[in-house]
A and B are shown apart, each in its own frame.
Chain A
Amino acid sequence: MSRPRSQAEYLARLVPPSVAGLNRRSLLAGAAGTGALLGTGLLAGCGDSDSGSGSDSKTVSVGSNQSDPKPKDVIAKVMAGFQTASGIQPAVNTVDHNTFQENINNYLQGKPDDVFMWFAGYRMRFFAAKGLAGDVSDVWGKLSGYSDAFKKASTGDDGKQYFVPASYYPWAVFYRKSVWQQRGYQVPKTLDELNTLGAQMKKDGLAPIAFADKDGWPAMGTFDILNLRINGYQFHVDLMAGKEAWTSDKVKKVFDTWAGLLPLHQPDALGRTWQEAAQSLQQKKSGMYLLGLFVAQQFSNDEQNDLDFFTFPEIDPAIGAKALDAPIDGYMMARKPKSEANAKKLLEYVGSKDAANIVVKNDPSTLVANTGADTSGYTALQKKAAELVGSATEIAQFLDRDTRPDFASTVIIPALQQFIKNPKDIGGLLTSIENQKKSIFTD
């Protein structure tokens, strides 16, 4: 993997390895197989004691997964800002992004840093429910500039907050303005309009919807948005939490709708990477592409202004089109930080307008979560993306952040690929998913 040079590349790095691909090290770990299993697994059970709460200490440690030069530099500047504001000395331990994620189980059970970076969603709630993260509800009492959607995304199963959001990127349908102007296409507001538009694009010799699922995760975005539009946010959350049956008519309707849209999608998606699909949009061979904001990575600097997007159209008027996937990255607190007071001061600072301003000023490649920040430095695309998320009633975190990682990667990815390969046998597929779900969601 190369170092990110643009906004989109940076955003792409935020994609979790369960979706974005493992690094070489984890590959080797995989080859080592059982050895790695024993080594990491059994040791994890041991490092359980963490004592000493020096309340008057003047330091706080931070576990950072921002290992690439640019974001690392931004974090350093934010931490410097914190030190100036509070007089507390932050010590940042940076770990390679993928490695951090791979080891999160062991990290949290060992001696984690007082504050660590993580993602919102089920992944956050999972560790909170296991007692591996600290309650930061009182920090939220002092935060301002966050919409309800962000607060909801930071709340654990018990109603307490365990997460402070820092940055995010929305998923939407992207297109090239020049192509649409030339052909006179209009942004579709309903599923019917989308279908009509797609048919027109096909007539004009375009692949209506660029599509790729070789890596297994992009199709999750399609499933998510259809599910959000057809069944709403709460159903999405419950389905992902294993509370709803995959064999229900509601899920079946999602797949039926998808099967109806598949002819508009670029064919042979299972052999294509998202980059190749994005390039077909860039080369004006496709009309639109449902993806995260990081799609801009495949566009040159002077093409950036030609890129625009709209949120996926409404399917059920009773549900509307106000919910969307916008994965949020941010900070959490260890369950027993060495100094809880200092950790909370730090969380309050990173959630503040001041910290967000430092990020905006130094890193033009990310959307900050705090709406109080001065975002005059945003590009047009960034501004529009921020508006879209700001007007969202609910923010989902993307399928594999909203459910158990083992379920997402070992069951859903093969299942969605099976569906794309053969959209006819939806009933059998859903039964298989449900059976496997029951074997995974056991506690």
Chain B
Amino acid sequence: MSDLPLIQADRAVPPPAATTSTGGRGRRLRLLSRTDRVVITLMVLVPLLLVVGLVWLPAVATVLLSGTDWDGIGPVGEIDWVGLQNYDNVVNNYPPFGPAVQNNLLWLAALFVVATPFGMFLAVLLDKEIRGSRFYQTALYLPVVLSLALIGFVWQLIYSRDQGLLNAVLGTQTDWYGDSNVNIWAVLFAAGWRHVGYIMLLYLAGLKGVDPSLREAAAVDGSSETSTFFRVVFPVMRPINIIVLVVTVIESLRAFDLVWVINKGRNGLELLSALVTSNVVGEASRIGFGSALATIMLVVSLVFITLYLFTVMREDRR
């Protein structure tokens, strides 16, 4: 806050004549007018209340509830405290938990290693202004625009064992959704299909913003296209790279919709988010147990958030 007056000085400092007129002991320079202060207070207070009310309170409540066996019925005062019992149950007495953690990690790895680089690659290709690039752009971005229900439906048509396109074309009888050795890959493919389009558009926007003179300079110096990209363009695009990285991590942590549409995240498609939902939402209100799962997810997310903030802040300090 201390440097605020400096920033505002040229505009907000009232003429000295005005301050002297207030006279007396309050000789401090009044750098901000009353309106300014009200505006600043509101600008701080409103988001603060929103963040506390919508983010921190629910988060803290989730952590607190994870130590109870509340079923959503009865007043808050009657909630029984059960300590770490829910966590014990999650880890030792809940078969879907192990697969869920594995699948979440697999999801992250698949997006990070395959889908994101592929989306970036497509963006670089489209940036070359090849013929019909508008068409490819639209086609690749389409999955991101489609509603989830529709995506679930589209892939059901393709993956259905008895009536699906894939088995009809390949002449196989693979149970794409039902065989728990296969379905996670089938779903990852569908999820990647969406993710690639998203990353492509983000990256394309970034590429359009790169100063063409950089490329020219590199070309004049005799750099090949590949080395121009990796040594000049890629480093210049650092902000976009970070956004893409963060988007990838976020997408893989909150992966939920596709598996939920397919089979509620069961039988090989377990994900932490789906387990939280099936325990907390609706009639099956195992709120304490579901909160324990949510807390575990929160802790996992915090690891990534901390890493991200740590990197960004260190860079800024330099």
- Give the B-binding residues of A (Cβ under 8 A): 16-18, 21-22, 24, 26-27, 29-31, 33-38, 40-42, 44-46, 48, 101-102, 104-106, 109, 123, 130, 132, 214-216, 268-272, 276, 279-280, 404-406, 408-410, 413-415, 417-418, 421, 432, 435-436, 439-440, 442
Contact = CB atoms under 8 A, between A and B. Distances in A.
Given A42-B76, A271-B177, A37 B61 contact: yes
9 contacts: A18-B282, A30-B276, A41-B65, A44-B73, A109-B74, A271-B175, A271-B183, A408-B284, A414-B266
A41 B279 CA distance: 13
Contacts of A414: 95-96, 266-267
5 nearest A-B residue pairs (beta carbon): A271-B178, A270-B178, A30-B277, A268-B175, A271-B177
Interface stretch (B10-18, B206-214, B226-234, B257-265): B257-265
Contacts of B276: 30, 33
B76 A271 contact: no
B256 A31 contact: yes
Given A271-B178, A439-B89, A34 B256 contact: no
Among A16, A105, A406, which residue has the most Cβ atoms of chain B within 10 A? A406
Contact of A271 (B85, B179, B291): B179
B180 interface: yes
A268 B178 contact: yes
Contacts of A418: 95, 267
A409 B72 contact: no
Contact of A270 (B73, B162, B175, B264): B175
A36 B175 contact: no
A140 B260 CA distance: 42
B245 interface: no
Contacts of B179: 268, 270-271
B266 A216 contact: yes
Contacts of B89: 436, 439
Interface residues of B, number: 63
Nearest to B59: A34
A440 B69 CA distance: 9
Nearest to A418: B95
A272 B175 CA distance: 9
A24 B74 CA distance: 28
B294 interface: yes
Interface in B246-274: 254, 256-257, 260, 262-264, 266-267, 273
B94 interface: yes
Contacts of A436: 89, 93-94
Nearest to A30: B277
B303 interface: no
A40 B175 CA distance: 39
B278 interface: yes
Given A30-B260, A216-B264, A418-B95, A37 B291 contact: yes
B238 to A, nearest CB: 31
Contact of A409 (B59, B163, B273, B284): B284
Contact of A104 (B94, B254, B277, B283): B283
Among B176, B254, B277, B284, which residue has the most Cβ atoms of chain A within 10 A? B284
Nearest to B54: A35
B285 interface: yes
B62 interface: yes
Given A30-B277, A35-B54, A38-B58, A413 B266 contact: yes
Contacts of B279: 406, 410
B149 interface: yes
A96 to B, nearest CB: 13
Contacts of B266: 216, 413-414, 417
B267 A417 contact: yes
Interface in B281-305: 281-287, 289-291, 294
Given A268-B178, A410-B278, A432-B95, A37 B284 contact: no
B282 A37 contact: no
A18 B178 contact: no
Given A417-B267, A440-B286, A435 B93 contact: yes
B178 A214 contact: yes
Interface string B144-164: 000011000000000111110
Given A268-B179, A406-B286, A435-B93, A105 B294 contact: no
A26 B94 CA distance: 24
Contacts of B54: 35
Contacts of A41: 65, 70, 72, 285, 287
Given A42-B76, A270-B267, A410-B278, 17 more contacts: A16-B283, A18-B283, A22-B282, A27-B148, A30-B277, A35-B54, A37-B291, A38-B58, A41-B287, A45-B76, A101-B283, A105-B73, A270-B263, A276-B160, A409-B278, A413-B266, A417-B266
B288 to A, nearest CB: 10
